[in-house]
Structure 1
Amino acid sequence: MEFGMFSGLLLALLAIAFLLQVDFIFYILYVCLGVYLWSRWYFPRTLHGLERRRVFVQRAFWGEKVSVRLVVRHNGRFSLPWLQIHESVPVQLTAGEEVNEVFLLRGRETAEFVYHLQARRRGYYKIGPLWLKTGDLFGLIPEKTETLPPDYLTIYPRIIPLGYLGLPSRQLFGTISSQQRLFADPTRPMGVRDYRSGDPIRQIHWKASGHTRKLVVKTYEPAISLETAVVLNLCTTEYTRYSRAQITEWAIEVAASLAAHLVNQRQPVGLLTNGIDPLVGTAVSSQPVFDSQSGRLLTDATPENAATHMPPHIPPRSGRAHLMKILEQLARIEAAETIPLSQWLIPACMHLNWGIALLIVTPKGDEATCQTIHRLVRTGLNPILLVVEPDANFGRVRERAAQLGFVAYHVAVRQDLDRWKRPLQVRV
């Protein structure tokens, strides 16, 4: 009921009461005025005082079901005659449930609602906001609205169990051993570099850190390297247009599966990619932008500034926590028109240790790609080419790679990965 209509009703009752001198009408007038003043004072304060929270696991693997629990507690003494809640949920994740409830909430009472999300697609999603609306029973005051700010859900890429990678022992995969053992010899210091998260404390060069006023660690000449880096090419200009969306997602799944396998084998693994992370290059003051329908994180990257949205490289480390860091980046990463592999790969690998194995996931094994990888071989790195687009002439790619000193594999479909479960008979 609008305030103008209600005030008109009060004036009419007041006039009738004075004309007829009926006490009952005065009583009704006082009750209506009291109800209005009470509603005007009570309901806005009650809504502000509601405790509300959203409880859920903010990271999930592909295919999992995520339970979200909404908790609303009313700390006031008096009941709320009605409270409506509505949660904004990504359409791609809904499991057929709609969060839109109206209920009575008594004083000191807590209400809980549970709904589920299905992790059908990797990504970084916005969950919420939660809208709360209340008012009085008679509609004497406008409805009041409050919100619970959104939270965010990270869905990791699908991980395909590889079991056992049968690659040459020089690449140090799985449990195949070699007479060559590559490691960084601590008796041969080479210099210093900036400290990275995960570096051992004993490698910090304290004197140099005090001089430069930032943490630096000692580096040594490469006598050993048990490290592997997954190199993921997501430059869209190198993918076939008609199948670009499907193949780039497949490339991300392959990269995630390789990283998970290596960590499970207790091997240090890192990640380099020329894709874009929508959270990188965004101003701190600006809020991330999400698609209103799907709930997925959007990017404002253009071909002109796409390189500024490329994420920093993740250096090789081992351990479950490090794997989660890699998977989080792969959950947000998107293909874009960035720097082609032939221009990006060599500078990107300059900081890597000598002898490191590189798993290069890319759509094609053309001449330019193979020549670029050959340059890595000449610098002492151990690259392996993984082609993810269908290629009827992949035999030529394999021959070209063999001539240039590295191995090439075709992993265009999931069945191609199954062959990696069988160990290769190699000479070491």
Structure 2
Amino acid sequence: MRRPTGAREAGGGLGAALGGLTTRGRSFLAAGVAAAGCSYVLGQEDLLRVGLLLTVLPLVCVVVLHRTRHRVTGSRRLAPARVSASAEARVSLRVDNVSRLPTGVLMLQDRVPYVLGPRPRFVLARMEPGGRREVSYRVRSDLRGRYPLGPLELRLTDPFGMCELTRGFGAYDTLTVVPRVEALPPVRLGGRSAGYGDGRHGALALAGEDDIIPRGYRHGDDMRRVHWRSTARYGELMVRREEQPQRARCTVLLDTRAVAYAGAGPHSPFEWAVAGAASVAVHLLERGLAVRLLTDTGSSVPGPEGTGGAGSPHGSADLAGLMLDTLAVLDHSEGTGLSPAHDALRGGDGGLLVAFFGELDEQQAMTAARMRRRSGAAVAFVLDGASWAGAPQGADRGGAKERLRVLREAGWTALPVAPGAALPDLWRLAGAPDGLADARRDGVAGGRS
């Protein structure tokens, strides 16, 4: 959608416009004044005419350019406004000359954050009255976030090069860079406990247990639901009532503690965890589950109820967009423990719990283990801090394996995550029987080591 930019003029009077005189314009003005003075001293009328011409020409250029500046409009179109990290967005700029006078050469410049690339500049040829010029450029970022685009600046010059004025347009656009979302394979998570995935998706959508209170038969009711005992009692056909279908629920827990992650940048362990949480949330929403995104601070999206999916007040596409927008600006928390998240999970409905943990110490591993009691099935991706920090193979492995053992004994399907791990491979392992024997006793890291 094209958004017209609003003018932002500071001191837009003729006095300020005189400050736009170029070196040539100032030279002409000085020469004209000097020639007029000499003509008075020497009594030469022809020299006075030359002095007046040299003086009036730059002033006329200032007046004409000043009027033209207010008759040139600019607009910007951003497509799309939300992109994944490392993906490109196209920004289209349009300039319209709505005056009856032609313009000189124009220089168009848009202001963008440095992470999106160099500042774009364009030189536009002379525009006829009612003319239009369109240019475009691309922006991309490897880092999540919201980035403002603007303001748009237009530099105008007269055909003689006497004056140069800049017009600013105050409207901004915002580019949202969300985490990369990977396509995940359909798997059955939780085995006999939950059965999430293609294999049990239909069962999850079926009605619950029958209500013991029957109702009268209605045309179209399945005869297999006839309650014969009540039929004999009331003397008319009675059928068993059905409860409303209950959609399977899932909570995606993201550990954002700064103490749990080392390093920064697009390839840091925290960015891997954020992208993993985004991929899992979108994948489960597409499968019709009601998904809630929860952080270690206890805050959740869309809220404590965690509603979402098909047929919910929030459409799955809208909810996915809301979660991605939240993850786009999510940063490290100052907390040191997982207790707020544990408290937020109290009173849960036994749905699936998928967690992305940073490095866990003994106390936080015990807290995470207690979260398993609030869920029907639980999968944990634990980032191995030693390997992400570049430690030699085997460094601090005993402590990491002990944390995984604590989680597994509590009922988690816990998988370690090392640098270069592919989430689809880990997701497939999580759906294998017993996490493929707990990833063959931690001998696999993302299926590659």
In structure 2, do the counterparts of structure 1 residues 37 and 415 end up closer, same or farther at CA, with 3 Å as the change threshold?
Answer: closer
Residue 174 and residue 24 in structure 1: after superposition, are their counterparts in 2 closer, same or farther (change >3 A)?
A: farther
How far, CA to CA, are the matches of 2:37 and 2:266 in structure 1?
76
Aligned partner of 1:262 among 284, 288, 303: 284
Q: 1: distance between equivalents of 2:149 and 2:210?
A: 49
TM-score (norm. length: structure 1) = 0.71
Q: Supply the distance in 2 between the matched residues of 1:87 and 1:51 (Cα, whole angstroms).
A: 14
Distance 1:226 1:312 in 2: 17
Structure 2 equivalent of residue 375 of structure 1? 370
For 1:424, the equivalent position in structure 2 comes to 432
Q: Distance in 1 between matches of 2:72 and 2:195?
A: 58
Tell me how far apart the structure 2 counterparts of residues 242 and 103 of structure 1 sit (CA, whole Å).
45
- Could you say which residue in structure 1 is the equivalent of 2:293? 271
Alignment of 1:72 onto 2:95: yes
Q: Give deviations 1:30-50, integer Å, cap 9, x for gaps.
A: 544543443332222322332
Q: Structure 2: how far apart are the matches of 1:18 and 1:186?
A: 110
Which one of the candidate residues 31, 55, 60 is aligned to 1:38? 60
1:62 maps to which of 85, 94, 110: 85
Residues 286-332 of structure 1 deviation map (CA, whole Å, 9 limit, x = unaligned): xxxxxxxxxxxxxxxxxxxxx9xx77654341212211111111111
1:409 is the counterpart of 2:415: yes
Q: Give the Å deviation of 1:110.
A: 0.8
Contact kept, 8 Å, 2:296 with 2:340, in 1: the verdict is yes
- 1-side partners of 2:364 and 2:194: how far apart? 20
Instruction: Answer yes or no: is the 8 Å Cα contact 1:66–1:119 preserved in 2.
Output: no
What runs of 5+ residues in structure 2 fail to find an aligned partner? 1-21, 212-242, 310-315, 387-396, 435-449
Q: Counterpart in 2 of 1:335?
A: 332
Q: Deviations over 1:192-231 (max 9, x none)?
A: xxxxxxxxxxxxxxxxxxxxxxxxxxxxx99956111111
Letter in 1 for 2:332: A
| 2:391 equivalent to 1:361 | no
Conserved in 2, the CA contact under 8 Å of 1:184 and 1:225?
no
Question: Where does 1:227-266 land on structure 2 (aligned, <5 Å)?
Answer: 227-240=249-262, 246-266=268-288
- Could you tell me how far apart the structure 2 residues matched to 1:242 and 1:87 are? 29
What CA distance in whole angstroms lies between the structure 2 residues aligned with 1:243 and 1:136? Answer: 47
- For the structure 1 residues 50 and 244, does the alpha-carbon distance in structure 2 shift closer, same or farther, using more than 3 Å as the test? closer
Q: Relative contact order, CA 8 A, sep 6+: which one is greater? A: 1
Matched, 1:129 2:135: no
Deviations 1:247-296 (A, max 9, x none): 10111111111112112222221211247xxxxxxxxxxxxxxxxxxxxx
Cα distance in 1 between the residues matched to 2:138 and 2:262? 36
Report if aligned partners of 1:346, 1:376 keep a CA contact under 8 Å in 2: yes
Distance of aligned partners of 1:184 and 1:90 in 2 relative to their CA distance in 1, 3 Å threshold: farther
| Number of residue equivalences | 358
Partner of 1:10: 32
Q: Which residue pairs with 1:174 in the alignment? A: 197
Alpha carbons 1:130, 1:147 under 8 Å: kept = yes
Map 1:95-106 onto structure 2 (within 5 A): 98-101=120-123, 103-106=125-128
- Give the aligned CA root-mean-square deviation in angstroms: 3.8
SS of alignment partner, residue 358 of structure 1: strand
Alignment of 1:296-375 (within 5 A): 314=303, 315-318=306-309, 319-336=316-333, 338-350=334-346, 353-375=348-370
Q: AA paired with 1:377?
A: R
- Residues 385-404 of structure 1 correspond to what in structure 2 (within 5 A)? 385-389=380-384, 392-393=397-398, 394-404=400-410
Structure 1 distance, partners of 2:294, 2:422, is 25
Instruction: Give, in whole Å, the separation in 2 of the partners of 1:243 and 1:140.
Output: 48
Report if the CA contact (8 A) 1:87-1:100 is conserved: no
The gaps in structure 1 that reach 5 residues or longer are 188-220, 276-306
Partner of 2:235: none
Q: Which has the larger radius of gyration?
A: 2
Q: TM-score, normalised by structure 2?
A: 0.68
